[in-house]
Amino acid sequence: MTHPRCMSCHPAGDHPLQGADHHEHMPGVWRGDTGHLGTSCEECHTDNNVGLNGSATYQSIPGNPRWGLAPLSMAWEGMTIGDICRQLKDTSRNGGRDLAMLREHVANDDLVAWGWNPGPGREPAPGSQESAGELVQAWINSGAQCP
């Protein structure tokens, strides 16, 4: 969850992030009053990853039918592993998910799956979505303790 691929969609600021160096999204987009993006992601991001040819400085535009930025209540940028752990367990900050729903989200959500299939030119998150779900389940089975 601390990998750049994950952090890009869980920023603490007003802009999504890009790349391993976490630079601000270009072209510039920002959060609206609701905490979600004020700009429509669908203007550039379609239902699927799109490979690019030509003189672009990047090789693809990522996509998913539900493409979007995590709300501020789910920001991980700048947080410790313990902070992220406590936030994940806090239903007021995790989208109302109990531990079973949290495991389901990590293990099977198609938007989360994008982290392991980010398109040409992007480093995928380590492991697989299946192994991430198994790790979350093992954490739950061992008491879901936070450091």
Write a three-state SS string for 4-51. HHHHCCCCCCCCCEECCCCEECCCCCCECCCCCECCCHHHCCCCCCEE
The confidence score (pLDDT) of residue 90 equals 96
The confidence score (pLDDT) of residue 51 equals 86
The confidence score (pLDDT) of residue 37 equals 60
The confidence score (pLDDT) of residue 131 equals 97
For the segment 23-51, what is each residue's pLDDT rounded down to a tens digit?
888 888 877 665 556 567 878 888 988 88
Cα atoms in the Cβ-side hemisphere of radius 13 Å centred on 21: 3
First-to-last C-alpha distance (Å) of the chain? 15
Most confident region among 77-81, 115-119, 131-135 by mean pLDDT:
131-135
The confidence score (pLDDT) of residue 15 equals 82
The CB-based long-range contact list for 27-34 (8 Å cut-off, 24+ gap) reads 31/69, 31/72
Most confident region among 19-23, 52-56, 113-117 by mean pLDDT:
113-117
The confidence score (pLDDT) of residue 116 equals 93
Domain boundaries, the chain: 4-141
The confidence score (pLDDT) of residue 68 equals 80
3 state SS of 61: strand
For the segment 81-130, what is each residue's pLDDT rounded down to a tens digit?
999 999 999 999 999 999 999 999 999 999 999 899 888 888 899 999 99
The confidence score (pLDDT) of residue 56 equals 67
The confidence score (pLDDT) of residue 8 equals 85
Backbone angles phi, psi at 40, to 5 degrees: -70, 120
The confidence score (pLDDT) of residue 39 equals 65
